[in-house]
A and B are shown apart, each in its own frame.
Chain A
């Protein structure tokens, strides 16, 4: 056996501790807010307290006269300069959207919208002066309920003439992917099972750990922008497009970024305004939002209303699913706001073989903070809907929740499988994941205990929740994005530089904000090039260092960016071959690459990559027949999505006296394909579970009747901590993806997508015999208790 065969698994699969953790965990690193430049000025924003109003006057005189104030700017001052913020996804050609200014000029459409800014010598002076700005508003009736918004009875943007941004639909009969759902519904009504259900996906706040911060250094040569963003490459392009600065003169750096969860997949008003302030003053400028501003004005997530109709036979075979959706865009369209429900539209069939499917989605504007991507982005909503329905179907049929799923899911021998929603699932093994979960969970024992508690009338009831999910990861094939109306592509880029001292620089176009790319990409390259893990440095997040890239979101980094890294590594090996032949005085055909070394077959003669890199650096012995450079670039457009899946089982105890829910055990078995670093995968699963459970039990952005965000601090917006969560049992099965070279799938969103329905299903299962068939999210003790009161009456 040669080392070639041993190497590929040496690093890939190794649960290495993350290279980046020491600096991230201690905070001794370059967060944007830590950056201090000579002569730097500070910004403070004045934000509208009203959800919907006309600005009638702004008095900035006192602020302008205040200590340390350099400039005060209102929307009127920068109306021509600020341009409009972009939305990058028209889900239908006729999509409507109001002009989205970075700073409101005469109309505010949500509480938190910026109406003025102060530029001052320090942050305290900027804040003090902001308090002195007096804005006169004429309040307008706010549009707050998404269903009411859809009726156009009152308008969020009177000038737009409607609240409806777009209506998008999919029908399996007309798409040729399946049958007619209306026929299935009629048949079920005549002699089958019909389940109708309305679900409110509450509004959530991404609540990343590091509030957003921007520093801009304007020099005549270059506009350098540091931003706590997931998407530095997007920010660069949009600064150019919106503010008219040549793209070649813009450098955007995302230094270490403390979380995003989709919340920093955005081009923000604050970024535009900080650039404007820097351009106008000619000085470096910084804006760092407070937590209150972050919760109020950074984009929100979810917020959909779902009306579902599931048709099935009396035996529990699903025959069709009809989905009517209203999605709250909030006040404006952000980068991909309108496409969030669309990303879910392909997932309502979950892991099942539905013969018919119809979805109609209406995107509406309201006078609330705009929504956009939040961990899972459309897929959690879809998965929740179908997994709640499958539990209801099981209850109707009188079957076990796992058995009803097995009856309907795609069998492992049926892959690749063309779904009713029009996707091609390349691989999967739902039987294996479910069997493993069932065993780890001690499913049968818990069912027995549940029965016992029901029979004894125990005030604390036990419930078991099932969630079997799949999701589309690896966003995305550019041609698919194009066909869906997205303006950008889905490719990714990587470069590898072989340094003379034997070190390797890997440059990735993905932009980590906690995911551990530096470690994982090093593991991939170490295996491929046969160089040491510690000899590899991964560079990212700076458009001058990594000029090509499309950043990090949608569980794409490994499946797309990681594969670009792999492709670049293969090119390095390819480029090294003729050089090695020259230096080793051998025929190219006699060379073989293994264990990081080109050797001449049948001899001891050979050179390592480090030796080759040094020889190329010297150039002394190269004859010019091959390019004297080992460095290589690769751009990779994914062939298709990848489809992680898994089975999650949750046991909850519901205290029927108080309505309190506590999670007793939680088992997740995820199939994310080949795993590069199991420790990173486990971390992603844990974090994802916490966020998904948070939607089920804790988090909700609540507005009062005037449109003010009531849950505007962490006192009301309850982000759970480790004290509020159980110990998770996590395990994996491994069915390699066939859509990429390594067989990886993606794990960033899996936990969030799977866990919410598992928890809610468990709660309903615990108290179904007490007359409860649903509890709205978040399932607070109060809501569970109320459902129990109502159940007792019915």
Chain B
């Protein structure tokens, strides 16, 4: 979406997608079932992180409460499968509905807050949901959660079938989100990140798009939670906990929050590393903490951002691009970006925190100048 020239993409991308899909489809036949469990988990959390990124990377709202949606979806499965006989399509619809409704609540509550207050408000909302799951013992099982969620009737018994099932749902969800981000509503949501004031000045109802972002993100995050509950077979308040909200933020940033597949990559990296590290030490949490620190200090534009940066630099060194500059990662070619406007530095790739981003040494005074830099690259190329 953001990177590499268009003409080359026309050939390379579909090919890569086709090969990737084929590999993913054949995966259960290639790898042992232990790795298959990991792969399924990566798919689930990849979906979660991608859904989170609608609010975070696209709309530029740093939410610290996304575990609420994930956990809500998981609890829908937990309650539905242990207390009712509802068929799967109904459970799926319920999870989507609960996620969307919760997303609308989050969106409406967050209409007036920015930056650090948005972080804190989403955190408080998620904690309220966590508190419900924790204390309503008669319904949710409290701290113990709900056990014995069966996948019977869903797919034939066996992890490969469940893997294909998850792959299907995740694939369709990603395709839907990809398409959504290219719809007029999705473009407006991206506009929220680039310059909310400018979006408002052009007549968009900014608040509505904030709610939209949370609703869509919440729906797909709940879907991921639903899949996780089926995969693990149990639900507990840990599915709603603050640490999960923090982890999904790190997944998105580590992979590259500016890119559609960045968060998915981040999820794969963290879960893969967890799997690898856990084979020789029980102190995974320390490694995870170190990873958070490294991400915060050095990976603010993510792995994909780094790669784009390196490619841009090697392109410069080869001398292929003289003149107005190589096709930077942030300014896609063909976009309505005027010549001479530089791509934002790589360090600015994080969704800016309401005027206190790294690029601004003076948070209180220089908002106007910062806004002009940001608004110069407001739009993405429309397909």
B partners with A: no
Residues of A participating in the B interface, judged by any CB pair closer than 8 Å: none
